[in-house]
Structure 1
Amino acid sequence: MMGVVNVTPDSFSDGGLWFDPERAVKHGLDLVAAGADLVDVGGESTRPGASRVDEAEELRRVVPVVRELAAAGAVVSVDTMRAAVAERAVEAGAVLVNDVSGGLADPRMVPLVAATGAAFVVMHWRGHSIDMVSRARYGDVVGEVVTELRQRFEAVVGAGVDPERIVLDPGLGFAKDAEHDLALLARLDALRALGRPLLVAASRKRFLGRVLAGGDGHLPPARERDAATAAVSAIAAREGAWAVRVHQVRPTADAVRVARAIEAAT
């Protein structure tokens, strides 16, 4: 269970709530107490249309929170596309780098990860948030995502990252419409066939809002999608996902426990 700590003013579902470092640290520890195995600290919003924050500001937001959480005993990952931020976060105690670009946004990222020995999440990515909606064009979304993820995995391994330390992420919501996200969730077996642990990050995303939309097409606010998130997480766990990334841990932890209990009884 990966709990989300957004140290941002503009993330799509909880921007500003944990922007203060002390509140961010407390929230991270609360997520651990609720059952998170790992807390993922990010200082840059990657919602559709978001502009990039500069490096100095991202460092200011992220590093103190990573340091305090790690010092308190939490297992910490850093959600960043910048090698400089990843390096400082690992020095502060992060054990995993969660790069939504899979190392494509910063050419220094993959060599940095290889040198540190940190675990590395490689996500399917087609470009930055500012224009990623225009890149959601697929003939066969499952086949194309599997192929592109495999190519990126091979490139990262070829650049020196230990394959046993790589986790793959299909990138739900990134250059994908709701129909694409649902198709990928329906075929997690195809993604698992790549042979690496799989991270599923569906929490509160827009495709869940579209599923839950009323007859008028109105999407419920992001913070009203936690039950739907728990449902997806339980399905992902049943399908063998390594971890799910969520904003609210307790409902998802409960759902996953039930899914595991049913699986054990079969």
Structure 2
Amino acid sequence: MRIFRFSGSAEIKKIMREIGVDAYGAKIMLPKAQNLLIRLSAVNNTTANILKQEMLSLGADAAIARGALTGKTKKTDILLMGQLAQFSALANKLKIQPFGLRQLAVELDENIRNFNRNDFKLSLSRGALSFNQKIKVMGIINLTPDSFSNDGLYRAFSHNYPDLALRKAQSMVADGADIIDLGGQSSRPGAKNISIKEELRRTVPVVKRLAKVIKVPISIDTTKPEVARAALETGAQIVNDIAGLRDKRMVRLVARYKAAVVIMHMPGRPVNMQKIIAYKSLIDDITIYLKKAIDFAQSGGIKPDKIIIDPGIGFGKTPAHNFAIINQLQDFKVLGKPILIGPSRKSFIAQALGGSSSPKQGRTSGTIAACVLAALHGANIVRVHDVKEVNQALKIVEAVENVMA
């Protein structure tokens, strides 16, 4: 006898093949073997009680607040518990119900479809980036004199830093980088904004130099539309906006250049983000923020297949928040976008390792562990300094997952 705890449909399919289950029968039974927990927030009592009865009628269940049953509260959160097949049946039943349940049925179908999706294809201005079993690696090149990881290439009196950046980029690509991310503005906690002129001076010559040589997409890490425009005009294809695409000018710019964009969650700005940490529900709050940003981007003309999301590890988060995000990363899959995560060399890793180790020398092993866990929990892209080491670790993850394919 064996007892299984499956992490995905591939494992279930493999067991059914080993047993010799008919292919059509396996397709019918697969949803019955996939269990889901779905939480709904602030649902009125009438709707909550209808949902509970409908779930019970399907052989599933729903947990609601005691006050929702006794009438002491007006609203309740709900935890729906059932199989994928039962949720499909629930959505069909809700489509003929009043009290806003028709819309809930649409959202339920969409979110479950997104949650199970792994076939992303990021459309770029030149070509596309496909996501399948391989986790993409984004290599970081800091063009700053004050990078938190002490790896900034830019120096005020260095005339050959574009060549240094090119050599570093070529090394990263050889080590397995799928994207190169260039940034001229430090985003470390407490960092102050530099001028547009200075950020352009740091980044544009490097983008221009790299675009002529390297074959992988170039990403520009900036919150300034002026810098993004110059980078896109000289060869960048992705805008990595840590400000979460709040600026309408940035939205219009990305749409006009048909670029891809990374939308990150960050409360406030780098200069004050660690002073305003307050969440009612960490994952829910980040999800709501990113959903609004996605809607804002798409309403401004950015195509759905050009958006990547980033929950913002280390940006307005405590160490506990950062580890919770890694552990619950798959929760963001309901948004239906590729997920990027950037734990590389950050201070929460040093704290977990028991010391304030040097970012450049002492945090590689912790970064590797964080990236492996992120990959297992739903990450599509990891943004790192140590490309070779992380890429090697991810190959082991892929080898394990391919056994179940």
TM range (shorter): over 0.9
Q: Distance in 1 between matches of 2:398 and 2:373?
A: 10
Letter of the structure 1 residue corresponding to residue 163 of structure 2: E
Match of 1:5 among 141, 147, 152: 141
Q: CA deviation at 1:144?
A: 0.8
Letter of the structure 2 residue corresponding to residue 110 of structure 1: V
Bigger Cα displacement from structure 2, 36-45 vs 25-34: 25-34
Aligned residues: 261
Q: How does 1:167-182 map to 2 (within 5 A)?
A: 167-182=308-323
Q: CA deviation at 1:115?
A: 0.7
Match of 1:204 among 345, 351, 355: 345
Larger Rg: 2
Q: Does 1:242 align with 2:384?
A: no
Q: Distance in 1 between matches of 2:152 and 2:370?
A: 26
Contact 2:326 2:377 in 1 (8 A): no
Q: Percent identity?
A: 39
Q: Deviations over 1:110-151 (max 9, x none)?
A: 110011110000001212111111121113111111111111
- When the two chains are superposed, the root-mean-square deviation of aligned CA atoms in Å is 1.2
The aligned counterpart of 1:62 is 203
Unpaired runs of at least 5, structure 1:
none
Contact 1:78 1:94 in 2 (8 A): yes
Q: Distance in 1 between matches of 2:236 and 2:152?
A: 23
Q: CA deviation at 1:193?
A: 1.7
Letter of the structure 2 residue corresponding to residue 13 of structure 1: S
The aligned counterpart of 1:221 is 358
Q: Distance in 2 between matches of 1:56 and 1:86?
A: 12
Contact 2:327 2:373 in 1 (8 A): no
Contact 1:5 1:18 in 2 (8 A): no
SS in 2 for 1:167: strand
Letter of the structure 1 residue corresponding to residue 347 of structure 2: R
Q: Distance in 1 between matches of 2:253 and 2:207?
A: 18
The aligned counterpart of 1:232 is 370
Runs of 4+ residues over 4 Å off in structure 1: none
The aligned counterpart of 2:239 is 97
Bigger Cα displacement from structure 2, 239-248 vs 173-182: 239-248
Contact 1:235 1:259 in 2 (8 A): no
Q: CA deviation at 1:245?
A: 0.3
Q: Distance in 2 between matches of 1:178 and 1:136?
A: 12
Higher relative contact order (CA 8 A, sep 6+): 1
Q: CA deviation at 1:256?
A: 0.4
Unpaired runs of at least 5, structure 2:
1-136, 156-160
Q: Deviations over 1:78-128 (max 9, x none)?
A: 000011111110111111000101222x44111100111100000012121
Q: CA deviation at 1:55?
A: 0.3
Q: Does 1:152 align with 2:293?
A: yes
The aligned counterpart of 2:273 is 132
Contact 2:290 2:309 in 1 (8 A): yes
Q: Distance in 2 between matches of 1:253 and 1:159?
A: 35
Q: Distance in 1 between matches of 2:331 and 2:244?
A: 19
Q: CA deviation at 1:21?
A: 2.4
Q: Deviations over 1:165-216 (max 9, x none)?
A: 0000000111111111111111011111211000011101111111111xxx
